[in-house]
Amino acid sequence: MGRNATRLLLLAAAATGLLAGAGCGSSPPRLAAASPSTNPSATATALPSTPPPTIAQITAWVNAAKLPASAIGAPKPVNDVPGVAPMPRVCNKGIAADQTEAYAHIWRWVGARIPYVEHDVFGYVSPAADVVAQVKARSHSCRSYSLSDPSGSANIAFVGTYTFTAHAGIDGSYAFCEKSTETSPAKHKGDVAYICTAAVSRGNVLATVRVFGANSTLSSARSALAAALPIAEDALVKAVPAT
């Protein structure tokens, strides 16, 4: 991974709150209680529905969706942060699902087979496919935005969607790529890097995969996502039972 990509990792970490330790030791958001049915046609003989998963089940599924170290080519992740944490910001904004998240686990990997991947897994009491839809809508809500931290700043521009065929068992999927152009400091102004992000879901669990290109080309970032995403999909399908 090149110098520019490394600098952009710091900006990305600042945007997701990782540099400040976001999610560590924080209390989970209050989950909205289900409203009783006011449908006058509802009767006591209605067919029973499948009960929602417990927080303990969701937590176990999220933790089990960790990428296998052998697939990355690393003994362990460089960051391993369990606990409630916001989704990676899209268009530098959060999404509504951040308020109903039950649990999350954040991993950062640097390996011999996969040079770098941010792998974040989130659990909800409602279907995670709805969260994928929120990510998609948010990514189309702006054409560009700015990121900054003490080391510098960059302009991030939406490049386009990344088309892929999701693994069997994945019930929601979307991916997109962005172009980052540094605006400061002056000695790095104009440096370019490409970033691709995917969101996939199964049941009540969603995983995001975020990668940087090994060089300053879109094809490099797409190739990185093509290598990392199937591993994350496979891990998610194995971790979350079919409903």
Q: pLDDT tens-digit profile of 52-61?
A: 899 999 999 9
Q: How many domains does the chain have?
A: 1
H-type helices in the chain, by residue range?
A: 3-16, 55-64, 69-72, 129-139, 218-239
Is 177 part of any domain? yes
Residue listed under structure tokens 């710091």:
10
Residue 25 lies in a domain: no
By DSSP bridging, strand 192-202 and strand 172-184 are antiparallel
In a domain, 186, yes or no: yes
Confidence of residue 243 (pLDDT cuts 50, 70, 90): confident
Structure confidence by residue, pLDDT tens digits, 205-236: 999 999 998 899 999 999 999 999 999 999 99
Whether 52 is covered by a domain: the verdict is no
Above 70 in pLDDT, residue 189? yes
Q: What is the mean pLDDT of residues 16-40?
A: 38
CB-CB contact of 174 with 87 (8 Å): no
Query: What is the CATH number for 127?
Result: 3.40.1000.70
Average pLDDT of the segment spanning 40-51 = 57
Q: Is 34 within a domain?
A: no
With respect to residue 71, please indicate whether it lies within any of the assigned structural domains: yes
Is 37 a domain residue? no
Mean pLDDT score of the chain: 85
Q: Is residue 35 part of a domain?
A: no
Give the model confidence (pLDDT) of 143-153 as tens digits. Answer: 999 999 898 99
d(CA 217, CA 148): 22
Is the pLDDT at 88 greater than 90? The verdict is no
Task: Give percent above pLDDT 70 in the chain.
Answer: 80
Domain that holds residue 130: 3-18+59-239
pLDDT digits (tens, 9 = 90+) for 107-164: 999 999 999 999 999 999 999 999 999 999 999 999 999 999 898 999 999 999 999 9
